[in-house]
Amino acid sequence: MKSLSVLGSTGSIGTQTLDVCRNLGYKVVALAAGSNVEIIEKQAREFEPKIVALYDEKAAKRLSIALSDTNITVLAGENGVLKAASADCDIVLNAVTGIAGLRPTIAAIEAGNDIALANKETLVAGGKRVMDFAKEKGVKILPVDSEHSAIFQCLQAKGDYARIQKLILTASGGPFFGKTAPELEKMKPEDALNHPTWNMGRKVTIDSATMANKGLEIIEAAHLFGVSQDNIDVVIHRESIVHSLVEFTDNSVLAQLGIPDMRTPIQYALTVPERCESNVEHLDLAKIGTLHFYPQDNIAFPATDIARHALSIGKTATAAFNAADEIAVAAFLEGKIGFNDIPKILEKTVEKNFSNGDSFDEVFYTDKEARKFAASLI
């Protein structure tokens, strides 16, 4: 029976991770989240972890009172979350949203904990530095995102990274597939949040609508699998059944298929190389009937190409891209900017040179300065 620390336990990925833990009978030793006292209290009472942490210190005080009849230690602030990431366990599931997930990843690596990574920003901002640190500490970084999990599963089956010719990431196309740039100008937050196949958090759902998420995933894939961005393609697949593909040097292609349910990649990250019974719905291809694939429209949705450009610049440009995206998405959700303003802010921020290195200190400095710059554009 494996032991787990779940960071971001009250969010979409976190709650599905705990569902997987119920199914597998895994022990949860630590929980961490932002500020949702009601949900994390219920989780704590069910799974009885040793520690529970909330970023929000006022919320942590309320939680401490609520759990005063238990032996659970309640921690507060970033230090509390870092202690949850450093807990004595087999694996840390990092589903923290945004750049806030990078420090817990570093803490988990320092503690020697393997990481099931659902926090894109860890590799988008930290990139090679994170991968090098994990290798130095002998820590495995296992992908949870459905696309990267699909690639990982294909490579586990093939067992030969050296003969990769191309990685092919699939994208649902989001709620605005087929729309032109002038049509997108009129789109409101409620339109962008109406995703056709996945139930995700607000930030990720907007990233899917702008296609910025595919840019983030290209950056992640480049670091996870050691592949040049020139060998990473994107194809629109509306049904979200094929989660990604790997093309090898003999032009054969392996794909991973399944219904759109995040519990599948979560469970594989926790059980690899074993496969366990799952409560995820069976895939009935005959019932689905037809699968469709389309090229990506980089004219109407330029965010992916901007991410590629940031990756080609190197240094901390991808951290700047990520920071600008968080600021721009928040502004769009608040009605301060239009939908097409998001990629404009991304492009202008990426062109700024915030740092000439890629150390963790420079990543965090770039994140701070890029946020200020992006905010100044709103």
Spatial separation of the C-alpha atoms in residues 328 and 344, rounded to whole Å? 9
Q: Are residues 128 and 154 in the same domain?
A: no
Which pTM value belongs to this model? 0.93
Contact of 270 with 26, CB cutoff 8 Å: yes
- From 143, 175, 207, the end of a domain falls on 143
Spatial separation of the C-alpha atoms in residues 303 and 297, rounded to whole Å? 10
Q: Give the domain range for residue 102.
A: 3-143
Residue 138 within a domain: yes
Residue 308 within a domain: no
Residue 165 within a domain: yes
Residues 31-81 pLDDT 10s: 999 999 999 999 999 999 999 999 999 999 999 999 999 999 999 999 999
Residue 371 within a domain: yes
Q: Are residues 335 and 285 in the same domain?
A: no
Strands 232-236 and 164-171: parallel
Q: Are residues 108 and 246 in the same domain?
A: no
Residue 307 within a domain: no
% of the chain with per-residue pLDDT over 70? 98
Residues 280-296 pLDDT 10s: 999 999 999 999 999 99
pLDDT reading at 156 higher than 90: no
pLDDT at 194: 86
Q: How sure is the predictor about 201, in pLDDT bands with cuts at 50, 70 and 90? A: confident
- List C-alpha distances in Å: 362 to 66, 98, 312, 314: 40, 17, 18, 13
Residue 14, SS3 per DSSP: helix
Q: Are residues 107 and 165 in the same domain?
A: no
Cβ atoms within 10 Å, residue 287: 7
| 118-121 CB contacts, 8 Å cutoff, 24+ apart | 118/8, 118/13, 118/93, 118/94, 118/144, 118/145, 118/266, 119/8, 119/94, 119/95, 120/145, 120/213, 120/216, 120/217, 120/220, 120/322, 121/322
- From 93, 126, 143, the end of a domain falls on 143
